[in-house]
């Protein structure tokens, strides 16, 4: 008898889980439940002024092996793109600054790396940090802001660290744990690094740096289509409203009241939805999932006339407290290379704790985008095309102790139920691929 699997959630996590199930159980019946207008979750490729444009996750970290390996499996290795090599800048104190060298997610390895970005008192504090005792116990996981603010000063937090983490989590370093944001630095401290400067220096890149990020020619849509095709899945455009154990099997109830009996379930929905579905079969797990906060963000993608005098950089990261609405600007055409007769860029708005993504109208967001470009670059743009997309409750916050919370969450799951998603092992696409593989392995191991 064919084994039957349900995957609840059709983002990249769910589609990767379906693909891994198909590879492991070739004759399985695999159903994906997702009520969206298309599969893919926060990977979303659109057309803007006739050009391909990502309006969700834009790129992947190339040093992790998951994405190159998956592209090779799917016959897409030759579709991998690398950036042009131009770098981003920081916007702080009302002006642009070069992105500091010798940093790890904004944490400095020396006072010299912060010169011009912070004041002389802060530079002196950074230089003196190695002489201050650092009480540290292996396993500690303070917030990034608490540790960096204490060791290097508040200006390093707001002007260097926050801009980096805001782009990743749509949150601030006050709500992100060190082990999630800079795990390599935490590991060096566990190994006995005597101070934060030494830990950062031990892991900071040295020598010529290769590309940090990669993308896919044709956009993430190419990957998503390949996963769907290779998985031979059945997509039901319905929400799953309940999960229940059914003897040694599972029952998934959809929003039309139809019951679907399967052998196992991969729950790959966003964390808020996952917590609601866990409430019945795994209440302790549901309670743990509810402890993971989420943020919302909104992307405004713009096409402006070719020849618009945008600078030769990949974008701008915005320091905390600036008089801008955007938290980041990506100059997509400069970052990835021109493919048409327009310049493409995207503006990101919304941080943890605000309501921008849910409450600000499209026309106002567009006006903010145009005004911010004038403020930052001193140019007036007249978009030829624009697109706005809101990502509500899509960005989990990896607070202090997050890794331990996730370990407890997984330990509370009953047999036949596994989790995948961006709230588990990292928000980036490679981490989602890894979590999906782990979920499938746990189900197959329990058969």
Nearest partner of 101 among 83, 87, 120, 91, judged by Cα: 87
CA–CA separation, 144 and 291 (whole Å): 19
d(CA 43, CA 55): 8
Q: Which fold has domain 294-396?
A: Polyamine Oxidase; Chain A, domain 2 (3.90.660)
In this predicted structure, the answer to whether residue 338 has a pLDDT above a threshold of 90 is no
Buried-exposed string 97-110: b where 16+ CB fall within 10 A, e elsewhere: bebbebbbbbbbbb
Q: Is the dihedral of CA 174, 175, 181, 182 positive or negative?
A: positive
Tell me the CA end-to-end span of the chain in Å, nearest whole number: 14
CA–CA–CA angle 389, 346, 380 (5° rounding): 120
* CATH number, domain 103-203: 1.10.3110.10
* Two tokens, residue 260: 């679907």
Per-residue pLDDT of 239-257, as tens digits, reads: 999 999 999 999 999 999 9
Closest CA to 169 of 13, 29, 348: 348
CA–CA separation, 315 and 402 (whole Å): 30
pLDDT attached to residue 212: 86
Give residue limits of the domains in the chain: 4-81+217-293+398-445, 103-203, 294-396
Q: Which residue in 259, 386, 399, 373 sits closest to 309, CA to CA?
A: 373
CA 292 to chain centre: 15
Tens digits of residue pLDDT in 40-89: 999 999 999 999 999 999 999 999 999 999 999 999 999 999 999 999 99
| 196 phi and psi angles, rounded to 5 deg | -70, -35
Nearest-CA neighbor of 220 among 38, 437, 65, 345?
38
For residue 208, pLDDT beyond 90: no
**Local confidence band at 110 (pLDDT 50, 70, 90 cut-offs):** very high
pLDDT at 1: 81
For domain 4-81+217-293+398-445, give the CATH number. 3.50.50.60
What confidence category does residue 209 fall into, taking pLDDT thresholds of 50, 70 and 90? Answer: low
Question: pLDDT at residue 268 above 80?
Answer: yes
pLDDT in tens, 389-418: 999 999 999 999 999 999 999 999 999 999
What is the rounded average pLDDT of the residues 218-229?
98
Say if residue 207's pLDDT is above 90: no
Model confidence pLDDT, tens digit, residues 27-44: 999 999 999 999 999 999
Cα–chain-centroid distance for residue 108?
23
Cα separation, 184 vs 199, in Å, equals 8
pTM for the predicted model, two decimal places: 0.96
Give every strand in the sheet of 264-267, ordered side by side: 234-236, 29-33, 4-8, 264-267, 417-419
Residue 90 clears pLDDT 70, i.e. is over it:
yes
Q: Are 414 and 45 in contact (CB under 8 A)?
A: no
Contact 303, 342 (CB under 8 A): yes
Q: Based on the number of CB atoms within 10 Å of its own CB, is 181 exposed (0-12), middle (13-18) or buried (19 or more)?
A: buried
User: What length does the chain have?
Assistant: 447
């Amino acid at each position: 008898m064919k084994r039957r699997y349900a995957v609840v959630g059709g983002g990249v996590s769910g589609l990767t889980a379906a693909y891994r199930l198909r590879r492991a159980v070739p004759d399985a019946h695999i159903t994906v439940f997702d009520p969206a207008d298309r599969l893919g979750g926060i990977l979303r490729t659109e057309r803007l002024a006739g050009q391909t444009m990502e309006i969700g996750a834009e790129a992947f970290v190339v040093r992790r092996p998951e994405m190159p390996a998956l592209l090779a499996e799917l016959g897409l290795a030759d579709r991998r793109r690398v950036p042009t090599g131009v770098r981003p800048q920081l916007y702080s104190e009302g002006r642009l600054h070069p992105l500091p060298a010798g940093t790890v997610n904004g944490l400095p390895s020396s006072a010299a790396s912060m010169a011009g970005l912070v004041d002389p008192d802060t530079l002196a504090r950074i230089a003196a940090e190695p002489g201050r005792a650092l009480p540290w116990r292996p396993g500690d996981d303070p917030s990034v802001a608490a540790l960096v603010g204490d060791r290097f000063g508040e200006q390093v937090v707001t002007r260097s660290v926050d801009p980096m983490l805001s782009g990743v989590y749509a949150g601030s370093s006050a709500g992100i744990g060190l082990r999630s944001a800079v795990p390599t630095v935490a590991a060096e401290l566990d190994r006995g690094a005597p101070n934060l400067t030494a830990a950062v220096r031990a892991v900071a890149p040295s020598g010529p740096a290769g590309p940090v990020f990669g993308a896919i020619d044709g956009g993430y849509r190419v990957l998503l289509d390949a996963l769907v095709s290779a998985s031979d899945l059945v997509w039901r455009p319905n929400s799953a409203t309940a999960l229940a154990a059914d003897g040694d099997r599972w029952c998934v109830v959809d929003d039309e009241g139809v019951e679907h009996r399967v052998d196992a379930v991969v729950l790959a929905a966003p964390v808020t939805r996952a917590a609601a579905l866990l409430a019945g079969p795994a209440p302790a797990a549901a309670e743990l999932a509810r402890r993971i906060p989420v943020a919302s963000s909104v992307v405004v993608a713009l096409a402006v006339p070719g020849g618009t005098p945008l600078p030769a950089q990949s974008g701008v990261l915005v320091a905390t407290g600036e008089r801008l609405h955007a938290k980041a600007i990506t100059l997509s055409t400069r970052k990835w290379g021109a493919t048409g007769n327009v310049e493409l860029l995207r503006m990101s708005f919304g941080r943890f704790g605000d309501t921008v993504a849910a409450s600000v109208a499209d026309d106002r967001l567009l006006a903010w985008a145009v005004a911010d470009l004038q403020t930052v670059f001193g140019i007036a743009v007249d978009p030829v095309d624009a697109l706005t997309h809101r990502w509500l409750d899509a960005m989990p916050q990896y607070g202090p102790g997050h890794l331990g919370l996730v370990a407890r969450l997984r330990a509370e799951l009953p047999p036949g139920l596994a989790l995948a998603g961006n709230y588990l092992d990292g928000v980036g696409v490679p981490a989602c691929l890894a979590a999906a593989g782990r979920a499938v392995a746990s189900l197959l191991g329990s058969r």
